[in-house]
Structure 1
Amino acid sequence: MTAGMVIIGAGECGTRAAFALREAGYDGTIALVGAEPHLPYERPPLSKEAMTSDAPSIKAIADAERLAGHRIDLKGATTATSIDRANRSVRLADGSDLAYDKLLIATGSVPRQLPLPGLGSRSAYLRTFDDALRIRRHLREGVRIAIIGGGFIGLELAASARKLGAAVTVIEAQPRILTRGVPGEIAEVVHDTHVAEGVDIVCGDGIASIDDDGETVRIALASGRSIDADLAVIGIGAVPVTMLAETAGLALNNGISVDARLRTSDPDIFAAGDCCSFPLAIYGGRRVRLEAWRSAQELGGLAARNMLGAEEAHACVPWFWSDQYGLTLQIAGLPDEGERTIRRDLDDGAFILFHLKEDGRLVAASGIGPDNAVARDIRLAEMLIGKMARPDPEALTSPSVKLKSLLAA
C-alpha cells in the first residue's frame, strides 16, 4: 500500500481539509472517506432552502470534476471500521485498507436520540440530505408538524414549515428557546417572531410519552397537554461521532480530545470539526467543541496545514449564525464568558449585545436584526475579541461611534 493522507469524513470539514492540503502544496495521495452516496455538500441549507425549494438539491462543496482535478479520491457510500495505529492504516467496510502518513478524523456529529419508546415512521431526525427529503414531503398546507427541541435546527425548520403553510408546534423542555449560547434578550425576539408567524411554542414542559402509529404522532406532555402531529421532528442537540477514535484508543474529552494544533493523543492522527474538542487560547485554554459551519471550514484548513508540519495553533474566534423569517442572528465569541452585558441599538429594531469581563475585555457579541443589519458590526466585534481588546463601554453603546475606530485604537 502507498501511504498518503487519509481523511475520514467527507463533510464540510473533511472536504475543506482535502483541498487545503493541495493548496499547501501537498502532492501525494489523498483519500476522502464519506458515508453518504452524495458528493460532499453544505449542511446549513438542509433546514432552510432544502425545505422550501420546489425541487430540493444538494449544495455541493465541490463537484466530481473539481475533486478529480485536485486528485482527491472520494470514497463515498462507505465507512471506516477501524484504525490500525501500529501499521498506520484504516480498514474500510468493504474490507480494503488505506495506508496513511497522517490521518484526519472529521466524522462530525449525529442527532441526539430521544430516549423514549414509541417512535415510528412518522418521527424523524434531520442530519443528512436524505433526512431533509423525507421531512420535506410532509411540509404543506394543513399538515401538523411537531418539533421537539427549541434550538437552531428546530427553529429554522419551524420557519421553513410555516412558509409552506404547515401548522407547527415547538416543544422545548427548558424555560425558553435557544438556551445554549444565545442571550435571553435575543431569544425573546426570536420567540416573539415565531409566535407572530403562527408557531405554537411550548416551553418548560417535558415529554411524558410518544405514540407513533405510522399515521399520527401523539405526544403527551408532563403537564398533561396532548399534541397530535402528522410528523414529529426531533432536534435536541448533537453528539460527536467518536466510536472509531475510542476503539483505536485515542483520548476523549467531550469528543475526540485534541491540542491547539488539532493533534490527537497519537501524533500521526488529527481530528477536526464537530467530533473534537480543543483549547481556545483567547478564553484561557477553555476546551470547547464547536458545531458550526465556519468553524468546520477553519478547522479543516488548520488540520491540513498541521498535518504537513505547520505547527499552527488555533486562533479563530467562534462564530455562529441563523436565518429565520428575514431575521439574522449572529454571535461572535462565547457569551457565557461575559460577566456584564451592554447594548447597542441600530436601525430597524436591530441591536447588538456586547459581553464583557469585569476588567472590560470584550469576550463576545450577539446581534439580531433584519437581513444583514448586524453583520458588519459583528465582524468588527469579532476582530476586537480576537485582539483581546478593552474598548470604551460608552463607545460600544453609541451608534454614532464606528466600531472600526475602536479597532484602530
Structure 2
Amino acid sequence: MMAMARGMVIIGAGECGGRAALTLRDLGYDGPVTLVGDEPHPPYERPPLSKDAMTTGDAPQIKTIASDATLAGKSIRHIHSVQAVAIDRAAHGVRLSDGSVLAYDKLLLATGSTPRRLQMPGLGPRCVTLRSFADALAIRAYLRAGSHIAIVGGGFIGLELAAAARKMGAAVTVIEAQPRILMRGVPAEIAEIIHAAHISEGVEILCGDGIASIADDGKAVRVTLAGGREIAADLVVIGIGAVPVTELAAKAGLAIDNGIAVDARLQSSDPDIFAAGDCCSFPLALYGARRVRLEAWRNAQEQGALAARNMLGAGEAHASVPWFWSDQYGLSLQIAGLSDEGSSTVRRDLGDGAFILFHLAEDGRLVAASGIGPGNAVARDIRLAEMLIGKRARPEPEALGSPAVKLKSLLAA
C-alpha cells in the first residue's frame, strides 16, 4: 500500500542525488525527502576510486558527501541497498525492489551511468570494471609488485588507474583501439604529453589495435589483439566508456535521447520528474542548444543543486560551462568548454612546461580552453577562461597567446 505522505524522492544516492537532497534542505524545504541508493554506503565521491583509493593507506576509506548521521540530522531518509524498479506516473509512486512504494510530489532520477561492457565471449571473474567502491577494493588487491594489469581503454579512468597501478609497483599494459589515447575531448597536443608521462613511468601503451579474444585459463587472463599479439595479465580492467542508466525512465515512458532527455531546467517529458547528472542529456545554451550528456564530477554537483532548486519551482535554466579534470603523475589536465566546437587554436605558454590551448569558433568566440601542467599551474587561467566562455567573449587571438596579457584584463574588457 502506498504511503500517504508525499514529498521529494531522489533515485540514485551518488554525487548528484546526494547534493540534491542536501540542497533541498539548505533551501528550507521541510517536507519529506527520500534518497534511494543501490549501494550500502552513504553518498560518496567517485573520482578518488581511480586515484587515492588505489594507493593510500592499508585500508582505503570512502570519501563521503554526507554521512548517514548527517543525512538523519537533516531529516533526509536514506534507503540503501535497494533499486527502484518501476514508476507509476499517474499515481506518483515509485516501486522499490523490496516491494515498498514511495509516493512523490516531485521525483529526481539521478541514476548515473554504468561501465560499457566489452561484448565478447571469454570474460571471466578477472575481467572487471571500475564504478563502485567495492570495484575499487577488488582491483586494488591486484596492484602490487610482480602483478601485471591490462587496461582496455585509454580514457581518463583507464589512464588514472594505470598511474595508480604503477605507483603500487604493478606492470601495466594499456590497450586502446583508437589511434591515440584520450580521443574524446582532449586535444592531441595534450594527449601526447600524457602518453609520454606514462611511457616514462613504465606503462606500455598499445594504440590502434583492437581485441580479437579474451580467455581466462585460471592462471592468467590472455588477451589476443587483432594484430596477433597475446598479452597475459593477472587482471583485465575494462574502461571503454559508460552508458547512462535509463531503463527505469524508459519503462515509465519518458523520452530518451542519449540518456533521459530533459530540458534546460532538467525537467523530463513528465513535468513532475527531473533527471540530472550522468544519466541525462540536456540542451546547452552556450553551444546553440546542442544536446549533451556530461560524465563529470562537477556537472553532477551542479546539476544536483539545480534540480533541487527547480523541483521547488525556481524555473532556472542550466548555464554552467562544462569542466573536466584529471591528475596523473603530478600533471593536472583541465578542460573548460567543449573543444570540438572550435575551428582554430591559440596556445599560451605558462612556463615550466605548462600551457593552455584556447579553442575559438569561426566567429572568434572562445568556446573552450584545454590546459596541462604540473600541480595547479593551469588552474587559475582555466578558471578565467571558463568565465570568458560563459560571457561568450571574443578576445583577440594575439592577446590570448601572449603571457604578458592577463586573462583577467580580457574578462574586464
TM over 0.5: yes
After superposition, the C-alpha distances for 1:381-407 in whole angstroms (9 at most, x for unaligned) are 000000000011111101111100100
Q: What runs of 5+ residues in structure 2 fail to find an aligned partner?
A: none
**What amino acid maps onto 2:347 in structure 1?**
R
2:160 counterpart residue number: 156
Return the offset for 1:213. 2.5
Check conservation: 1:218, 1:228, Cα contact below 8 A.
yes
2:405 to 391, 401, 407: 401
Check conservation: 1:121, 1:214, Cα contact below 8 A.
no
* SS of match in other structure, 2:138: helix
Return the offset for 1:215. 2.8
1:130 to 134, 146, 162: 134
**What amino acid maps onto 1:2 in structure 2?**
A
Count of residue pairs the alignment pairs up: 409
2:171 to 161, 167, 171: 167
After TM superposition, the score normalised by the length of structure 1 is: 0.99
1:267 to 236, 261, 271: 271
Q: What runs of 5+ residues in structure 1 fail to find an aligned partner?
A: none
Q: Distance in 2 between matches of 1:320 and 1:369?
A: 15
Return the offset for 1:291. 0.2
After superposition, residues 301-312 of structure 1 pair within 5 angstroms as: 301-312=305-316
1:326 to 320, 325, 330: 330
* SS of match in other structure, 2:222: strand
Runs of 4+ in 1 over 2 A off after TM superposition: none
RMSD, aligned α-carbons: 0.6
After superposition, the C-alpha distances for 1:144-189 in whole angstroms (9 at most, x for unaligned) are 0000000000000000000011000000000000000000000000
240-249 vs 54-63, which moves further: 54-63
After superposition, residues 377-388 of structure 1 pair within 5 angstroms as: 377-388=381-392
After superposition, residues 6-405 of structure 1 pair within 5 angstroms as: 6-53=9-56, 54-405=58-409
* SS of match in other structure, 2:257: coil
Return the offset for 1:214. 3.3
**What amino acid maps onto 2:284 in structure 1?**
L
Q: Distance in 1 between matches of 2:23 and 2:61?
A: 26
Return the offset for 1:359. 1.4
Return the offset for 1:68. 1.0
**What amino acid maps onto 2:207 in structure 1?**
C
Q: Distance in 2 between matches of 1:22 and 1:211?
A: 51
* SS of match in other structure, 1:346: strand
**What amino acid maps onto 1:30 in structure 2?**
V
Return the offset for 1:24. 1.3
Q: Distance in 2 between matches of 1:240 and 1:102?
A: 21
After TM superposition, the score normalised by the length of structure 2 is: 0.98
- The sequence identity of aligned pairs, in percent, is 75
**What amino acid maps onto 2:108 in structure 1?**
L
246-255 vs 210-219, which moves further: 210-219
Q: Distance in 2 between matches of 1:213 and 1:404?
A: 59
